[in-house]
Every structure is written in C-alpha cells, then in structure tokens.
Amino acid sequence: MNRFHNYHRKTLCIAANLIIQNEKLYVLIR
C-alpha cells in the first residue's frame, strides 16, 4: 500500500511538472 502511494505521488509530481512546462511554453508563444 505504501509503495503504491509513493508511486502515485511521483506520478502527480511528473504531471504537475508537465503542466507547468506547458504553461510556460504557452506564455512564451503568446
């Protein structure tokens, strides 16, 4: 259970990083 929780947190961190990068690119394009 703990391992699954850590994996889920890593996935959320990666997703958040991708969203932040996309927002930066969007601002640069505009």
List, for residues 6-30, the tens digit of each pLDDT value. 888 999 999 999 999 999 988 888 7
Give pLDDT, residue 29.
Answer: 81
So what's the pLDDT on residue 1? 63
Q: 1 vs 6, 11, 24, 27, CA distance in Å?
A: 9, 15, 35, 39
In whole angstroms, give the CA distance from residue 17 to residue 30: 20
